[in-house]
Amino acid sequence: MSLFQESILELISETSTNLPPDVRRAMADGLHSETPATQASQALNVIATNIDMATQDEGPICQDHRDAHLQDQDPGGRQPTVLREDLRHAVAEATRRGKLRPNSVDSLTGKNSGDNLGPGTPIVHFEQWENAEEIEIKLILKGGGCENKNIQYSVPCELPHLGRADRTLDGVRKCILHAVWQAQGQGCSAGALGVCIGGDRTSGYTHAKEQLFRTLDDTNPNPQLAALEDYIMKAGNTLGIGTMGFGGQVTLIGCKVGVLNRLPASFFVSVAYDCWAFRRLGVILDASTGALKRWLYREDKPAAPMAVGEGFPRTGKEVRLQAPLTEEKVRRLKMGDVVLVSGEIYTGRDAVHAYLMKHDSPVKLQGSVLYHCGPVVMKDNGHYRITAAGPTTSIREEPYQAEIIERFGIRAVMGKGGMGARTLAGLKASGAVYLNAIGGAAQYYSRCIEEVLGVHLLEFGIPEAMWHIRVKDLPAIVTMDSHGNSLHADVHNASAVLLSKLAEPVFSEDPPPLQRPARERRFRLEPLQAGSGQTILRAAGPPHASP
């Protein structure tokens, strides 16, 4: 590998395993401000432990990274094609080493490339700058769960519980609040928002993501946007959505807003949602050698441990579940129960669910637990080893789940973010439950896996295959039971009531008066006729003024 490739590989590895200090501080603040002994505080404890585990073992904090978003600024001395190839080689090597999960899928065939390379992956933005001696590269690893909660508004528009959002700063405020509310726990809250006011549909989303390269504790230089960011942080954390959507006080850890000019006919508000596993780092490289000179978003001192005590504190009230499960055992579970799952279970994501709708299962699923998980898997001496195993967002399986539960006799599905009314009805009819694991806690959950017993449907790729695993004391919370109760529906409805209370205007609709600097000089534009019928403009002003 070239020195440049080695530097990029180190950047990817560090970004995957270490959160930047501003994110750590925000999560630590959330951990200490949340009400103790609640489901949200339990989730934050697991998250803190997971962050520590990832740092100690140099394992992925979260296995998901839909968006490997690289920003490259260089003096233009290297050919972009050479830079791109170096970046591609580093991404492929990081994947081989288990720092990244294979996440690049052909949209037509469904085939996973296996190395995170393909049209559109990784996402790289090149930009030249005037520094002839250094190259700056920034990286964000953004998961698919939070990517799915990105949202774009075309205003004016009607928003549930908030009414009409106009083309004003107050209309923008409503759009951002709605973006927080619609995400609930599906984007692994507590989350951070990057927002763009204006632009077109493409530039708006791009500029919104670029806001995520700002640190969470900076101050927007635009006073209006600074006031908006501050308001969203305070108001968003009053909605009661909480960590993982369990209810609670910590829903947002950041909101960063930028603005672009727009066409008169369009007014877009674009929101890029990122999760608590806000993986963002950067490096400055020597332009001539590719050697790493210094880090961005990182402090010199070692990060202090975040966890306070055991990650999932035991109270003695936990319900132990030994798979396979009986209907009688499952029917006794109630919403809010904390469970510890042991025994043999199976993973199954989008491809597995689509397959099971048309085919028999390759394994017996009667009484089983189906885990919505796409793990990072290494193969050592012919044996598989799972190194990251956090849950994926379950709502994607809503079109299939109830039918699959009934058809195959599944007793529990486990994932994150909850599921909808159709699945809830299916759980009640079939005698099954939904177990909510802690999103992003990839290291924490991999420690609960004792052995990989086998794999089926590997042709779908590592994340989408059906992995047969033996687990011990895998912790989760019953958030949808077999009696028609759903914590997700309860939080959704309660937060909607709180959202409606924020509908009244906060920011004035009148634009602020333009304040001219004391030394500003006024000019008028006078038309002059030029040859060939052209009209040009001349600036005219008081004597001695330079236009």
Same domain, 418 and 456: yes
Same domain, 237 and 200: yes
pLDDT for the residue numbered 524: 37
Q: Is residue 435 part of a domain?
A: yes
Q: Which two tokens stand for residue 20?
A: 């930047």
Same domain, 114 and 27: yes
CB 11 within 8 A of CB 93: no
Same domain, 216 and 107: no
Number of domains composing the chain? 3
Read off the CATH number of the domain in which 447 is found: 3.20.130.10
Q: How far is CA 476 from CA 11, 132, 366, 433, in A?
A: 33, 53, 21, 11
Q: Which two tokens stand for residue 423?
A: 């699945």
H or E segment to which residue 491 belongs: helix 487-500
Beta strand spans in 359-437 (E): 369-371, 376-380, 383-388, 412-415, 433-436
> In the chain, which residues have pLDDT < 70?
66-80, 309-310, 509-547
Residue 110's domain spans which residues?
A: 1-143+282-313
DSSP 3-state of 15: helix
- Examine the fold and report which residue of 313, 333, 366 is the final residue of a domain before the chain moves on: 313
Same domain, 22 and 94: yes
Q: Is residue 309 part of a domain?
A: yes
Q: Is residue 272 part of a domain?
A: yes
pLDDT for the residue numbered 207: 97
Same domain, 271 and 381: no
- Report which of 29, 416, 45, 67 is spatially closest to residue 253, judged by C-alpha positions: 29
Q: Tell me, what DSSP letter sits at residue 486?
A: B
Same domain, 126 and 11: yes
Q: Is residue 530 part of a domain?
A: no
pLDDT for the residue numbered 174: 98
Q: Is residue 529 part of a domain?
A: no
Distance separating alpha carbons of residues 488 and 316, to the nearest angstrom: 25
Quickly tell me which residue has 């044996």 as its tokens.
Answer: 383
Q: Is residue 125 part of a domain?
A: yes
pTM exceeding the 0.75 threshold for the entire prediction: yes
Same domain, 77 and 220: no
- Examine the fold and report which residue of 258, 292, 313 is the final residue of a domain before the chain moves on: 313
Same domain, 486 and 343: yes
Same domain, 357 and 445: yes
Q: Convert the pLDDT of each residue in 116-169 to its tens digit.
A: 999 999 988 888 777 778 889 999 999 888 999 999 999 999 999 999 999 999
Distance separating alpha carbons of residues 347 and 329, to the nearest angstrom: 21
pLDDT for the residue numbered 519: 41
Same domain, 359 and 418: yes
pLDDT for the residue numbered 16: 95
Beta strand spans in 221-267 (E): 252-259
- Examine the fold and report which residue of 467, 492, 517 is the final residue of a domain before the chain moves on: 492
Q: Is residue 541 part of a domain?
A: no
Q: Convert the pLDDT of each residue in 182-224 to its tens digit.
A: 999 999 999 999 999 999 999 999 999 999 999 999 999 999 9
Distance separating alpha carbons of residues 339 and 326, to the nearest angstrom: 15
Distance separating alpha carbons of residues 184 and 186, to the nearest angstrom: 6
Hey, which residues does 412 pair with through a beta bridge? 369, 433
Same domain, 114 and 177: no
Q: Is residue 456 part of a domain?
A: yes
